[in-house]
Amino acid sequence: MLNIKNLHVQINDKEILKGINLNIQPGEIHVLMGINGSGKSTLVKTISAHYDCVVNAGSIKYKDEDLLKLNPTQRANEGIFMSFQNPVEIPGINNMYFLKTALNEKRKHLQKKELNAASFLKLVKSKTSEFNMDDAVLKRNLNEGFSGGEKKRNELLQLLILEPKLLLLDEIDSGLDIDAIKTVATGINSLLDGKRSLLMITHYERMLELIKPNFVHILENGKIIKTGDYSLALKLGKTGFKDIGE
Amino acid sequence: MKNETLHKVISSEYKLGFETIVNSETFPPGLSGDVIKAISSKKDEPKWLLDYRLKAYKKWLQMTEPKWANLDYDTINYQDISYFSAPKKAPNSLDEIDPTILSTYEKLGIPLEEQKLLAGIAVDAVFDSVSVKTTFQDELEKLGIIFCSISEAAQKHPELLKKYLSYVVPSNDNFFACLNSAVFTDGSFVYIPKNVKCPMELSTYFRINALNTGQFERTLIIADEGSYVSYNEGCSAPMRDTSQLHAAVVELVALKDAQIKYSTIQNWYPGDENGKGGILNFVTKRGICKGDNSKISWTQVETGSLLTWKYPSCILKGDNSVGEFYSIALSSLAQQADTGTKMYHIGKNTKSTIVSKGISALKGRNAYRGLVRMAKSASNSRNYSQCDSLLIGNACSAYTFPHQEVRNKSSSVEHEATTSKISDEQLFFLNQRGISEENAISMIVNGFCKEVLQELPMEFAVEAKALLNLSLEGCVG
């Protein structure tokens, strides 16, 4: 699904990623952990072609194609979805209209028929009721005046509607109460059908209990310094990052 | 000092004689009493109208070009302009039209027959439009509605024209209105009789010859007691014009219980990214709600011109009268817009609403300038103003100059203003959800303009949306 080799990335003249190697197979769940500033978000942003991230060296292959050639929109429509740590507010764009446009852009890209308003509405309602979400946010402007929790749940809704192939989740659980974390985890799990892959940044053990990773990577200073399985995350929870480094 | 030089140049004897001027198809550049006489004679105007023009010209000579607007442009030399030109030779087919214009027509989804009309192709090639024109003229006539050119009105309805010309905009109102009064070429004249609701949107578009009225357009609309009319000016198709200066005057008169809705889409040539070649648009638009319970509503979408200087205003004289101003002004490339409105509350219980949306992109500069005045007599009156600015990119700018005067204690004035910017983060967010840069910008802009777009007549609103998207093409990345 995703193959990263010797990736070097800088932001504002500062090298943040210093040689990342990462291989994600279809159906795998990977978790990135590490102290603040170790490069976790930069890695996720680089995969989705954020304008801040300048790739100096290395390669990223997605479905065996050179991903670095594609712009953010193309990557999105090829099935890469990134949830934002702080989703930006966009006044003037109705949330429902936004969702419909995003879905139909993707369908157009895949040469599928666009959904009309009625069938789209049906789809959204089925998702909100399945995951017990309040659909009042749909009538408001995109993220405008949303609470932290509402923004994160809105990210989940986008995820559920767009059904990406590769999920990049940057702290989708932060700022959520226990019940909301459960909702979000249930939503994510519903997408994990053994074909989709997930790369997730989280600081919460609770999230890892709900979505059990196959691989846990620890980043330090722009490099993956250790890779293990779920037990590594558990060990981290007890000892912290200090004793992990070698 | 500059004014003196100007005065000297203007008052100096015109080189060519009057007869020579009248006999030429297009007048040689220059302005003088003789030129004005020649315009009037070309149109076979009554003497009072010629006197009106000459009086305005005399006043204009003593006036100075206003410089208070937030606009930069080179000095206009009024002697370099030709003040009359016969309609240009009509092209024979679309093959003779500039392909860039044709491609814009296509992007706007304008049907082929209409494209021909817009491109000014000889009228006999567009039978459909002509028959549309005549059938609806018949219908209007049955209701007693007059809809013709100002020149025609001077011949056929002199008493109405004489009574209402300069009823709202005195000929010496301002420098540009005064110039227009002296040299106006043509424009629309509308009269709606008592208690008649005009059954269709009147549009310059149907009055074919109005498409070629040139740079000094004059429009006068009178809605008699209890009548209603909706008038659409311009269209979204690009208007290329070789003349740089445009100075139009529009006057609206609403008598008791009458309503006038005036919608504009202005898409004159904006010039290139360095501001070369664009139109300088200086327009005076003003309406009076003369009778009680009357209403005037201005809606404008301004996307063209290098320079826009325009303040559609309402004089709310009748008690309970209502004035509205809804505006979208988009400045991209090197365009500059200084636009807004004036609401003069004179009658009791008068109400005005101002919604202004300014969009600046690339090197565009956009200013809202507004005046709300509550006279002592305007008790229990209300105004609500909302001015929002949207910036796209880092080289553009937005300004707001609101001015409020309240001279009584029972009236209220409200003003809200916001400035926002389409940020890289917003664009990236939308891109990451699969929405391309251009679609993303158009979504944000359309959302931003929603309140104004919904004030436009249906078809006009569709055109306006397409036009906004087109005007913003390539303004990012």
Cβ of B432 within 8 Å of Cβ of A81? The answer is yes
CA–CA separation, A229 and A57 (whole Å): 28
Are B219 and B149 spatial neighbours (Cβ–Cβ below 8 Å)?
no
Query: Residue holding tokens 């049955």?
Result: B142
Instruction: Using a pLDDT cut of 90, give the percent of chain B over it.
Output: 50
Work out the minimum CA distance from A231 to partner chain B, whole angstroms: 33
- Mutation for testing the B interface, residue in A12, A83, A93 having most B CBs under 10 Å: A93
> The whole model's pTM is what?
0.81
DSSP letter for B123, please. G
Are A92 and B447 spatial neighbours (Cβ–Cβ below 8 Å)?
yes
The residue among A75, A8, A84, A5 whose CA lies nearest residue A39 is: A8
Please report residues of A whose CB lies closer than 8 A to that of B433. 76, 81, 98, 102, 158, 162
Q: In the predicted model, what is the mean pLDDT of residues B416-437?
A: 92
In this complex, is the C-beta atom of A7 within 8 Å of any C-beta atom belonging to chain B? no
Cβ of B447 within 8 Å of Cβ of A91? The answer is yes
Please report residues of B whose CB lies closer than 8 A to that of A92. 443-448, 450
Cβ of B434 within 8 Å of Cβ of A94? The answer is no
Of A51, A81, A92, the CB nearest to B447: A92
Confidence of residue B9 (pLDDT cuts 50, 70, 90): very low
CA–CA separation, A120 and B57 (whole Å): 63
Cβ of A93 within 8 Å of Cβ of B447? The answer is yes
CA torsion sign for B58, B61, B63, B67 is positive
One-letter identity of residue B83? Y
Cβ of A50 within 8 Å of Cβ of B436? The answer is no
Are B218 and B175 spatial neighbours (Cβ–Cβ below 8 Å)?
no
Please report residues of B whose CB lies closer than 8 A to that of A105. 434-436, 439
**Strand, coil or helix: what is B201?**
coil
Least-confidence region, from B92-101, B345-354, B355-364: B92-101
DSSP letter for A141, please. B
CA torsion sign for B126, B456, B242, B170 is positive
CA–CA separation, A190 and A184 (whole Å): 10
CA–CA separation, B388 and A179 (whole Å): 40
Maximal CA-CA distance, chain A: 57
Confidence of residue A241 (pLDDT cuts 50, 70, 90): confident
Q: In the predicted model, what is the mean pLDDT of residues B272-277?
A: 80
Provide the CB-side half-sphere exposure for B436 (13 A, CA): 12
In this complex, is the C-beta atom of A18 within 8 Å of any C-beta atom belonging to chain B? no
pLDDT of residue A131: 86
Cβ of B434 within 8 Å of Cβ of A84? The answer is no
The residue that leads in pLDDT, B236 or A156, is A156
Residue in B with minimal Cα distance to A89? B426
Residue B277's Cα: distance from chain center in Å?
Answer: 19
Instruction: Using a pLDDT cut of 70, give the percent of chain B over it.
Output: 79
> Residue B11 above 60 pLDDT?
no
Residue B436's Cα: distance from chain center in Å?
Answer: 34
Confidence of residue B101 (pLDDT cuts 50, 70, 90): low
Task: For residue B296, report the phi and psi dihedrals to the nearest 5 degrees.
Answer: -125, 130
Strands (E), B122-244: 146-149, 188-192, 202-203, 218-223, 228-233
CA–CA separation, A189 and A176 (whole Å): 17
Of A76, A91, A92, the CB nearest to B432: A76
Interval A152-194: pLDDT, tens: 999 999 999 999 999 999 999 888 888 889 999 999 999 999 9
Q: Which of residues 64 through 123 in chain A touch B, CB cutoff 8 A?
A: 71-73, 76-77, 81-82, 84, 87-88, 90-94, 97-98, 101-102, 105-106, 109
Residue B474 contacts by C-beta under 8 Å, 6 or more apart in sequence? none
Query: Which CATH number, 3.90.580.10, 3.40.50.2300, 2.40.37.10, 3.40.50.300, labels domain A2-239?
Result: 3.40.50.300
One-letter identity of residue B27? F
Which value does ipTM take for this structure? Answer: 0.95
Are B306 and B271 spatial neighbours (Cβ–Cβ below 8 Å)?
yes
The residue that leads in pLDDT, B13 or B95, is B95
Work out the minimum CA distance from B397 to partner chain A, whole angstroms: 19
Confidence of residue B461 (pLDDT cuts 50, 70, 90): confident
| Interface A-B: count of C-beta contacts within 8 A | 68
CA torsion sign for B168, B174, B180, B186 is negative
In this complex, is the C-beta atom of A188 within 8 Å of any C-beta atom belonging to chain B? no
Residue B456: other Cβ atoms inside 10 A? 23
Q: In the predicted model, what is the mean pLDDT of residues A110-135?
A: 90
- Show the tokens assigned to A66: 């050179």
CA–CA separation, B280 and B334 (whole Å): 12
Beta bridge partners of B231: B202, B262
Are B234 and B269 spatial neighbours (Cβ–Cβ below 8 Å)?
no
pLDDT of residue B96: 66
Q: Which of residues 204 through 223 in chain A touch B, CB cutoff 8 A?
A: none
Of B428, B433, B445, the CB nearest to A50: B428
The residue that leads in pLDDT, B325 or B151, is B325
Cβ of A162 within 8 Å of Cβ of B433? The answer is yes
pLDDT of residue B446: 87
> What do you get for the CA distance between the two ends of chain B, in Å?
46
Are A154 and A146 spatial neighbours (Cβ–Cβ below 8 Å)?
yes
CA–CA separation, A137 and A132 (whole Å): 13
Residue in B with minimal Cα distance to A101? B435
pLDDT of residue B421: 87
Residue A55 contacts by C-beta under 8 Å, 6 or more apart in sequence? A7, A8, A9, A46, A68
Residue in A with minimal Cα distance to B441? A93
Q: What is the gyration radius of the CA atoms in chain B, in angstroms?
A: 22
> Residue B345 above 60 pLDDT?
yes
Cβ of A51 within 8 Å of Cβ of B424? The answer is yes
One-letter identity of residue B465? K
* Whole-Å CA distances, A84 to A1, A149, B426, B433: 21, 13, 11, 11
The residue among B359, B407, B411 whose CA lies nearest residue B387 is: B359
H/E segment holding residue B316 = strand B313-316
Please report residues of B whose CB lies closer than 8 A to that of A106. 434
CA–CA separation, B155 and A172 (whole Å): 74
Of A50, A92, A102, the CB nearest to B433: A102
Cβ of B433 within 8 Å of Cβ of A141? The answer is no
Please report residues of A whose CB lies closer than 8 A to that of B451. none
Beta-strand relationship, B365-374 and B336-345: parallel
Could you state, in order of their start, the residue ranges of all structural domains in chain A? Answer: 2-239
CA–CA separation, B370 and B355 (whole Å): 11
DSSP letter for B10, please. H
Please report residues of B whose CB lies closer than 8 A to that of A48. 432
- Mutation for testing the B interface, residue in A88, A89, A158, A163 having most B CBs under 10 Å: A88
Report CA dihedral (B373, B376, B377, B379) to the nearest 10 degrees: 80
One-letter identity of residue B466? A
pLDDT of residue B207: 44
Of A48, A92, A102, the CB nearest to B444: A92
CA–CA separation, A3 and B265 (whole Å): 53
Q: In the predicted model, what is the mean pLDDT of residues B249-269?
A: 93
